[in-house]
Structure 1
């Protein structure tokens, strides 16, 4: 029989918070992610909503020796830029809604477009566990 026992473990679950931002249009790094990390969930808290109809807010990643994906964790349909409150990557139906394992360092990013209005004020929270080698 094959030996499939766990060989690595994590003894800590971390939550990293970005600064509160009202971002300009574009893609911005909000949280660095170390290598060997399981990102379990990404949340966005919007204390001020984006004002213009058609504004966009996406949550993605860069790094991990992969091509960056701007909406891996959340699309605008999940992030709801025009509403105040907390949203979770668990609410979406994108590849990252169930999390992501980073074998190499990376970053959590937000991509915004205020569509000619005023950008909302938001903060990003990333729940993750770093797996020990």
Structure 2
């Protein structure tokens, strides 16, 4: 079931940094996020709605400064939207359940999928296995 909330409800639920990233499409500073070099076993969920997005088996160190994954845990958990902001053309990734901004996906991943889901740590929670 999709999560629909007003921006006021999101502001009450999320910290100012989380709101900026998840709802205003912000970005945390590279190498600053708590999940950048986090490699415990478990699943990564959307910080806003709790939807399971990635598992630890798809996470890799891409040396880009943000947590990186090569695939979503189940197809359809993430939606993509063309992003032409900041003079760039990229593919934005959003939680399919609540529409929150997660980061971007690139076609330069080193694994067999060829994808690199570059995600803000502030967009995620983690549930240990």
> Is the structural similarity TM-score above 0.5?
no
TM-score bracket relative to the smaller structure:
under 0.3
TM-score (norm 1): 0.25
Instruction: Tell me the TM-score normalised to structure 2 length.
Output: 0.25
Give the number of the structure with larger relative contact order, counting CA–CA contacts within 8 Å between residues 6 or more apart: 1
